């Protein structure tokens, strides 16, 4: 093992993330900085993420984020680039315009600073946020709650966010198998849509979760989709429609009643019960699949990643059914960030993965895992 430090750049969606991660002599990943800027407030004026606004914001945020990540990691260095051994960047999947900003920045820096460039799959990188085992001396990092347990191969990762939902078995840094994935929407997106139906503000997932605490999950019976041919696959679109139908019938209307008018007709108790029933159904689906996959594949550990991993209800439901305690990244590393990209870059570099050609590398907006 040799020590190296990688600068990670993430711009797949609405978060501009730049971070420095080191892999030390013992193979431990150490976080030295984690700069994240989000354009969500700007986007929300339009009701959701507008690709052009997200891309333009990445352009605006990129240089300050790189400066922040480098100065936080190396406050005493006049030329922090001397400390950087390589650059890792999200190549896909994601929004084309957003990916282009990060990739073009990384390619340019790799050429100018003469550093090896690692092209990273965003979804594949998510669980490696949980592999970060220590933080450097930057004061901004001292409140990070890093996992006490070490992620060891083979591990099973449950990745659920606003854009992705899958269960992946990793045998090594380079070998993995997608055990199951969503056939339609992502889990986090379903939380966001249900929040809209219930008239709850953004961020949807968190607010559905808070509302659910006041409700009874047994008051609405929502479906659990199952696929004979692919028992680990997930599906959220039917569940979303089921919430819509349950809300319509709760106020005595039929399926033609517009979803936009529901929140003002539903009582607070009905909203709370719908939130609780939906949250339980959505999380039970992934918890059941994870338990089944754990029993079949017998991994050494289970890692939870993506924005929905922030849910304390998901955490306690998983802990109740698994014989091992799942490993969670710090909340700030559950959502999109440059640290998970840098972490996987460090591990790939150590595993001997070939760097990309900075003159040729192109984005892969629909790159599957």
With respect to ligand KG4, which residue has the nearer C-beta, 353 or 369? 369
Three-class DSSP category at 199: coil
Q: Contact, 54 vs 46, CB < 8 A?
A: no
Find which of Zn ion, ligand KG4, none residue 207 binds, CB within 5 to 8 Å per kind.
none
DSSP 234: B
What is the residue whose two structure tokens read 């909340």?
Answer: 331
What is the residue whose two structure tokens read 């709850």?
Answer: 200
Find which of ligand KG4, Zn ion, none residue 310 binds, CB within 5 to 8 Å per kind.
ligand KG4
Q: Which of 93, 204, 326, 358 binds ligand KG4 (CB under 6 A)?
A: 204
Please choose, out of 56-64, 198-206, 232-240, 351-359, the segment that lies near ligand KG4 by the rule CB under 6 A: 198-206
Q: Which of 20, 31, 62, 308 binds ligand KG4 (CB under 6 A)?
A: 308
Integer Cα distance of 311 and 332 in angstroms: 13
With respect to Zn ion, which residue has the nearer C-beta, 4 or 369? 369
Size of the site for ligand KG4 (CB under 6 A): 20
Q: Contact, 333 vs 132, CB < 8 A?
A: yes
- Determine, following the binding rule CB under 5 A, whether residue 233 of this chain makes contact with Zn ion: no
Find which of ligand KG4, Zn ion, none residue 203 binds, CB within 5 to 8 Å per kind.
ligand KG4
Of 229, 231, 223, whose CA–CA distance to 292 is shortest? Answer: 231
The tokens describing 155, both together, are 């591990």
With respect to ligand KG4, which residue has the nearer C-beta, 115 or 181? 181
With respect to Zn ion, which residue has the nearer C-beta, 116 or 307? 307
User: Burial, 199: exposed, middle or buried (Cβ in 10 Å; 0-12, 13-18, 19+)?
Assistant: middle
309-348 footprint of Zn ion as x/- string (CB under 5 A):
---------------------------x------------
The tokens describing 267, both together, are 């009582």
- Determine, following the binding rule CB under 6 A, whether residue 8 of this chain makes contact with ligand KG4: no
With respect to ligand KG4, which residue has the nearer C-beta, 244 or 304? 304
- Determine, following the binding rule CB under 5 A, whether residue 11 of this chain makes contact with Zn ion: no
Q: Is the C-alpha dihedral spanning 176, 135, 84, 99 positive or negative?
A: positive
φ and ψ at 212, to 5 degrees?
A: -60, -25
Please choose, out of 46-54, 93-101, 127-135, 159-167, the segment that lies near Zn ion by the rule CB under 5 A: 159-167
Q: Contact, 187 vs 240, CB < 8 A?
A: no
- Determine, following the binding rule CB under 6 A, whether residue 336 of this chain makes contact with ligand KG4: yes
Integer Cα distance of 225 and 236 in angstroms: 8
DSSP letters for 307-364: GGGG-HHHHHHHHHH-SSPPB---HHHHSS-HHHHHHHHHHHHHTTPPPB-TTT----
Q: Which of 192, 233, 273, 330 binds ligand KG4 (CB under 6 A)?
A: 192
φ and ψ at 90, to 5 degrees?
A: -70, 120
The beta strands (E) that lie in 161-266 are given as 165-170, 176-181
- Determine, following the binding rule CB under 6 A, whether residue 206 of this chain makes contact with ligand KG4: yes
Q: Which of residues 10-49 bind ligand KG4 (CB under 6 A)?
A: 13
CB atoms within 10 A of CB 141: 21
Please choose, out of 88-96, 184-192, 322-330, 339-347, the segment that lies near ligand KG4 by the rule CB under 6 A: 184-192
Tell me how far, at minimum, the Cβ of 355 lies from ligand KG4, in Å: 27
Question: What spatial distance separates the first Cα and last Cα of the chain, rounded to whole Å?
Answer: 27
Q: Which of 9, 62, 168, 310 binds ligand KG4 (CB under 6 A)?
A: 310
- Determine, following the binding rule CB under 5 A, whether residue 161 of this chain makes contact with Zn ion: yes
- Determine, following the binding rule CB under 6 A, whether residue 236 of this chain makes contact with ligand KG4: no
Please choose, out of 75-83, 160-168, 341-349, 354-362, the segment that lies near ligand KG4 by the rule CB under 6 A: 160-168
- The contact set with ligand KG4 (CB under 6 A) reads 13, 161-163, 188-189, 191-192, 203-206, 209, 306-308, 310-311, 335-336
């Amino acid at each position: 093992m040799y020590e190296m430090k990688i600068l990670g750049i993430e711009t797949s969606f609405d978060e501009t993330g730049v971070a420095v991660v080191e892999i030390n002599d013992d193979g431990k990943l150490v976080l030295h900085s984690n700069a994240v800027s989000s354009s969500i407030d700007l986007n929300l004026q339009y009701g959701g993420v507008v690709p052009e606004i997200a891309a333009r914001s990445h352009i605006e945020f990129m240089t300050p984020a790189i400066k922040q990540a480098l100065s936080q990691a190396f406050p005493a260095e006049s030329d922090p680039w001397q400390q950087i051994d390589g650059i890792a960047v999200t190549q896909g999947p994601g929004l084309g315009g957003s990916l282009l900003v990060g990739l073009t920045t990384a390619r340019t820096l790799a050429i100018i600073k003469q550093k090896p460039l690692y092209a990273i799959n965003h979804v594949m990188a998510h669980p490696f946020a949980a592999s970060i085992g220590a933080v450097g001396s930057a004061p901004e990092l001292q409140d990070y709650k890093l996992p006490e347990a070490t992620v060891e191969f083979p591990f099973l990762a449950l990745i659920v966010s606003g854009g992705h939902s899958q269960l992946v078995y990793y045998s090594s840094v380079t070998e993995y198998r997608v055990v199951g994935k969503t056939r339609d929407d992502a889990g986090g997106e379903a939380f966001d849509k249900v929040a809209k139906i219930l008239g709850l503000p953004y961020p949807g997932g968190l607010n559905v979760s808070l509302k659910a605490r006041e409700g009874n999950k047994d008051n609405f019976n929502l479906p659990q989709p199952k696929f004979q041919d692919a028992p680990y696959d997930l599906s959220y679109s039917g569940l979303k429609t089921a919430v819509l139908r349950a809300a319509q019938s709760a106020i005595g209307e039929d399926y033609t009643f517009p979803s936009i008018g529901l929140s003002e007709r539903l009582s607070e108790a009905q909203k709370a019960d719908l939130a609780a029933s939906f949250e339980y159904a959505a999380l039970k689906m992934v918890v059941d699949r994870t338990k089944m996959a754990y029993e079949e594949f017998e991994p050494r550990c289970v890692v939870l990643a993506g924005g929905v991993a922030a849910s304390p209800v998901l955490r306690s439901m998983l802990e109740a059914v698994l014989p091992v305690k799942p490993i969670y990244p710090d909340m700030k590393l559950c959502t999109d960030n440059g640290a998970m990209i840098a972490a996987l870059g460090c591990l790939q570099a150590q595993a001997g993965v070939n760097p990309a050609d900075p003159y040729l590398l192109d984005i892969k907006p629909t790159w599957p895992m």
